[in-house]
Amino acid sequence: MKSVDASDYTLGVVGAGAMGQGIAQVSVQGGMTVLIQDAREGGAAKAKEAIAGRLRRLVEKGRMAEAEAEAAIGRLHPIEKIDGLAPADAVVEAVFEDLGVKQELFKAIEAVVSADCLITSNTSSIPIASIARVCEKRDRIAGLHFFNPVPLMKLVEVIRAAETSDAAVTALTALGKRMTRTPVVVKDSPGFLVNMGGRAFSTEGLRIAQDQIATPSQIDAVMRDCWHFRMGPFELMDLTGMDVNYPVSQIVYDGYMQDPRIKTAPIHKAMFDAGRFGRKTGGGWFDYQGAEAVGKPSPDHDPAGAEPGPVSLVGDDGRLSTFCRDVGLAVIPDDGACPLLAAPIGKEATEVALEAGADAKRMVCIDLLGDTGARVTIMTAPGADPNQRDTVAAGLIAGGRKVTAIKDSAGFIGQRMAAMVANLGCYMAEIGLATPADIDLAMRLGLNYPKGPLELAEQMGVANCHGILAAAQASTGEDRYRPTGWLRRRATLGLPIHTEA
């Protein structure tokens, strides 16, 4: 097996669509010779023209030296037939997602390349082992899963199949680095790491909306403003498209034997069936003119002219009184008429009122677990007095915060979603999908999460994260919210979430 650092290292790329072009581009930028092939007549030559154009635009923008760009273009060689891959030291397949097509292609590649040539697939959904089963030398077969657009997305998943050798994994990790990507080694599994790990963010948002606790616009705003995700789950689904994210959700769900923790919601399928795929069709969860959402409902609560007033605190552990002081809410002993303010972790407003023996009609719960600097989420129990809610909302708005008012829920919006993301990350660590550190790294790079899922559990407090999930499971009776053994043990023992066995 040739050293990946060799000056004459040659990579073959089969499939000259967007992904294949991106892989070829970062490879020639990494100093490798690239042979690019496509089944379409002239497809490889057109791909070279497109890549050359992008590299020259980098020169125009001052991001690349002209000599460097021209040298990279000179290392890119279109080929018409598979047998032109014979000199390759490694090959990346980037054709469409069809197992039969990939198996036939791998057999054809194996017939022309050398015995120590690495052969990889960029598949995002097909198990590598199912492709490798038709090959003669399976120890050199692996996945090399890039993310679109490849030149901008730094992550590459190195997928180890059942028979992939350690030497192949080591070489592919080095290859990813030479491509200026950040490689993460992942076990061969449905959705690999990033597509699996991303399920919690979308499916829990869908569940909250399905249960009419909050609107898509409210959920997105809370996850952006209070938890610092670049996009909320509904904006993200509209960007990727329901024609992509719904089938992927089903593939991962079925691949994990229909584990309730990654089950999507009926409204997801309804949107897919209706052909409302998002931006690409002009409408998904929101309507679009081009890339811009139009007529999007406001996530901000309007207290309809209500005036701020004093509140009485229920079950304060110090966080709530400090928040009230910071935001300017006056706190008084309960006078029998003022709003009762609580800051539960994992509990419903209904439950808080019953436990405290308080008037549920006056109870207003506020989420302090996320960032409350720009937006605050409040919730009330069924039958609550809206005037009490609006008095609190008016005070929060006067204190410079936007307010999202939702229906009763164990864990508000942000607590539930953050805990579900964290729990799924813990599950991936539990089954050895990747190391805890690599799980966090992959989710930050692959999905632009502000923190990896295990880092998110640490931020929330491991015991808090466990408590939120246990409360949601008790409230709903659903195993969807069951805490992983990884999370439960570390919460019980008071250990950091990254502690390995």
Q: Is 228 a catalytic residue?
A: no
Q: Report residue 17 as tokens.
A: 């669509």
Catalytic entry in 121, 122, 189, 195: 195
Q: Residue 405 phi/psi, 5° resolution? A: -105, 125
Is residue 145 annotated as a catalytic residue, yes or no?
yes
Burial class (CB in 10 A: 0-12, 13-18, 19+), 321: middle
- Collapsing DSSP to helix, strand or coil, 137 comes out as coil
Is 130 annotated in the active site?
no
**In this structure, which amino acid lies at residue 89?**
D
Q: Which of 27, 93, 122, 145 is catalytic?
A: 145
Intra-chain end-to-end CA distance of the chain, in Å: 35
Q: Is 315 left (phi over 0), alpha (psi -120 to 50) or beta?
A: left
**Residues constituting the chain:** 501
Question: Of the candidates 181, 149, 160, which has an alpha carbon nearest to the alpha carbon of residue 20?
Answer: 149
Catalytic residue among 93, 157, 204, 351: 157
Query: By C-alpha distance, which of 222, 214, 207 is closest to 377?
Result: 222
Give the helix ranges, DSSP H, for 157-215.
166-178, 194-197, 199-210
Query: Annotated catalytic residue: which of 27, 121, 124, 312?
Result: 124
Rg (CA), the chain: 26
Q: Look up 124 and say whether it is catalytic.
A: yes
What are the CA-CA distances from residue 406 to residues 256, 305, 341, 386 (Å)?
Answer: 32, 19, 15, 12
Nearest Cα to 469, choosing from 487, 442, 448, 495? Answer: 487
Give catalytic residue positions: 124, 145, 157, 195
